[in-house]
Amino acid sequence: MNPKQEIFIDMHYAKDHRTGYLFDPWVNLGPRRRQILDTSWPGLFRKGLLDHLPVDLLARNFKEFRGRPTKELYTILGGQILQQMFDLSDYEARNALLFRTDWHYALDIADTSDESLYISERTWRNYRQLSIKGGLEGIMFKLLTDDLIKKFTVETSKQRLDSTHMLSNMRKLGRILIFVTTIQKFLRALRRRRPTEYSALESEFIERYLAKDADACFSQVKPSEASKTLEQVSADLYLLIESFRAYESIVKLSEYKLLERVLDEQCTVVDTGENIKVTVKPAKEISIDSLQNPSDPDAGYDAHKGQGYQMQIMETYQPEKQDEKIPKLITHVEVEPAHIHDSHALLPAIDDTKKRNCSPDELLCDTHYGSEDNVQKAQEKGVTVIAPSPGNTPKKSLGLNDFTCDPKTQYVTQCPEGNHPQKTYRTKKNRLCANFPKETCLACPRRTDCPVQIGKKAAYLRYDDAMLRHAQRRAYEETPEFRDKYRWRSGIEGTNSHLKSEVGIARLRVRGLPAVRFAGTLKALGLNIMRSAHAMKVRIDEGLTPFLGQNSLVTTVFSLAQSFHLDFLQKMKNIIRFMKIPAFFQCAS
């Protein structure tokens, strides 16, 4: 038995992974298998990340002196990360924890008995719910990512930002099926919780929606009959709402509130009294944040990407050839419904990374993030946003930037033809105006291409500070300097592809924003771990000294020896080579 310290804080069970083993429990693996583990993700996770997991936050969910001791908390949190990293179901993750040696090594599980390893799927899900409730996914992402940035000395001055689409474990529904599924959900809840009121409904009504072939009937409605079917299901939905409005216990049900939400978003109730008529709104009037599926009320809709969620990601990059010894790392993650516009994500991403001392100096992003307001506020935070200007390209060949302006006052001093304004001033609304001679502008050969407008007394060029900055941005976008910088933005599309192909972010196994955020955030962390493990492998292959500590007593001996006497270190190396202990070879190198 290995004398490794175990900590019982009241009923909270967590091993001390910072204290090394007196005897190496992994010596039976053999040198080749041990080398594979040490130079890939299990070695990185065990020696560099495991002891940073916030087990104290998870332990707060358990009583101090009541109940059985918890499962080993480092194993639980680490296993949740690995589950999302490899896109495993609960059953697959539980089996990996039971039988996979690489998981045991990564989680530092030396005792492979049932008492140490066995966990039921239900217990696994319960621990995940506690982690979701405490928002531990965001804390783990920040703690471990910040540690990887320091370990690999990742340069964060240049980063890029983009969003990628995610679909939860929900079915894509059309308008008819949104009505039908919401009604079915309410009827099933009513049957389960209020059987007396449920039995009062007409059997024909119940048969229409809860028959075995109900879904098939409504999903196969002909296009010519779609409007008629919509009228029927909307009337039925309104009937249910009014029939149970007087029952306080039923009104509090979440399924009843979904009925009201669908009615409000999809229908218009006309007239009152006996002549009430429920009409379905035209599709173009439906809000983008409307209910997409009653099984996942948090999901939104994006006209370009469709139903579901999106994840905002910001990552580091190297403007020249990628040095494989330094990984690209995702520094910021935020999961949100798909209908939220990308422009809202820029400033929170900057604020988040600035708090953690990993904010960029230059941030590449696409047009959606590059509004004038965002660019100015980011500049105030010390971040230069490099993004194309939003809006259509001006139709006239001459723009505001073609005029010469005073850099301090922003007043126009000369037009593209070399003419000077008679008068330049600011109006009461803080707009600027330059007055040119009317006769000169009427005779100008470029009059049709010029933004100057002919008035009664003079020719006027009206603009404001924002218009001038916008024009200057458009002019800068035509320069080789902008193109050279902005060409690196497309690299984040590769990260989006890796998130979908390697860690399975395109289609998740969960529903609801909290669960989707938990899975998406840990999958992004998993990609960071994979990239960092690759960088560590490259360093080792090139003969560089590993920077990660060893969890053994011998590491401490070597560190002390190297600090005090190099001759003693050399003698220790010779002794270890003579003993042929595989676990020590990396230390000796």
Q: In this predicted model, what pLDDT tens digit does every residue of 258-306 receive, in sequence order? A: 999 999 999 998 876 677 888 899 988 888 889 999 999 999 998 888 8
State how far the Cα of 115 lies from the Cα of 118, in Å rounded to an integer.
6
**Per the domain annotation, does 354 fall within a domain?**
no
User: Helical H runs in 325-451?
Assistant: 346-355, 372-380, 438-442
Look up the domain containing 206 and give its range. Answer: 175-285
* pLDDT tens profile 451-509: 888 888 888 888 888 888 888 888 888 889 999 999 999 999 999 999 999 999 999 99
**Chain centre distance of CA 332:** 8
Mean pLDDT of 318-335: 91
Q: Is residue 561 predicted with pLDDT exceeding 70?
A: no
- Of the residues 434, 453, 476, which one is the last residue of a structural domain? 476
Decide: helix, strand or coil at residue 113.
Answer: coil
Residues 200 and 83 in one domain: no
* pLDDT tens profile 50-107: 999 999 999 888 876 766 788 889 999 999 999 999 999 999 999 999 999 999 999 9
pLDDT for the residue numbered 537: 92
Q: Is residue 5 predicted with pLDDT exceeding 70?
A: no
Residues 114 and 226 in one domain: no
- Of the residues 476, 505, 528, which one is the last residue of a structural domain? 476
CB atoms within 10 A of CB 582: 17
Residues 100 and 193 in one domain: no
Report yes or no: 510 and 129 within 8 Å, Cβ to Cβ: no
Mean pLDDT of 128-133: 95
Residues 103 and 190 in one domain: no
pLDDT for the residue numbered 220: 77
Q: Is residue 113 predicted with pLDDT exceeding 80?
A: yes
Residues 190 and 277 in one domain: yes
pLDDT for the residue numbered 547: 57
pLDDT for the residue numbered 562: 40
* pLDDT tens profile 388-436: 988 776 666 777 878 888 888 888 888 888 888 888 888 888 888 888 8
* pLDDT tens profile 503-549: 999 999 999 999 999 999 999 999 999 999 999 999 988 887 665 43
* pLDDT tens profile 170-218: 999 889 999 999 999 999 999 999 999 999 898 888 898 988 877 777 8
Encode 448-478 in three state secondary structure.
HHCCCEECCCCEEEEECHHHHHHHHHHHHCC
Residue 252 CB partners (closer than 8 Å, separation 6+): none
pLDDT for the residue numbered 437: 87
pLDDT for the residue numbered 571: 52
**Per the domain annotation, does 537 fall within a domain?**
no
**Per the domain annotation, does 78 fall within a domain?**
yes
**Per the domain annotation, does 212 fall within a domain?**
yes
Residues 105 and 190 in one domain: no
pLDDT for the residue numbered 506: 92
Number of domains in the chain: 4
**Per the domain annotation, does 492 fall within a domain?**
no
**Per the domain annotation, does 523 fall within a domain?**
no
Quick one: 542 exposed, middle or buried, by C-beta within 10 A (0-12, 13-18, 19+)? exposed
Record the pTM: 0.84
pLDDT for the residue numbered 396: 66
Length of the chain: 589
* pLDDT tens profile 66-76: 667 888 899 99
- Of the residues 106, 134, 162, which one is the last residue of a structural domain? 134
Residues 130 and 1 in one domain: yes
Residues 210 and 279 in one domain: yes
DSSP 507: B
Residues 281 and 180 in one domain: yes
**Per the domain annotation, does 145 fall within a domain?**
no
Mean pLDDT of 434-443: 86
Mean pLDDT of 221-232: 86
Mean pLDDT of 144-155: 94
pLDDT for the residue numbered 432: 87
**Per the domain annotation, does 118 fall within a domain?**
yes
* pLDDT tens profile 339-359: 999 999 999 999 999 999 999
Residues 123 and 208 in one domain: no
Residues 107 and 1 in one domain: yes
Q: Is residue 315 predicted with pLDDT exceeding 70?
A: yes
Residues 274 and 194 in one domain: yes
Question: What residue has token string 């690995």?
Answer: 82
pLDDT for the residue numbered 36: 92
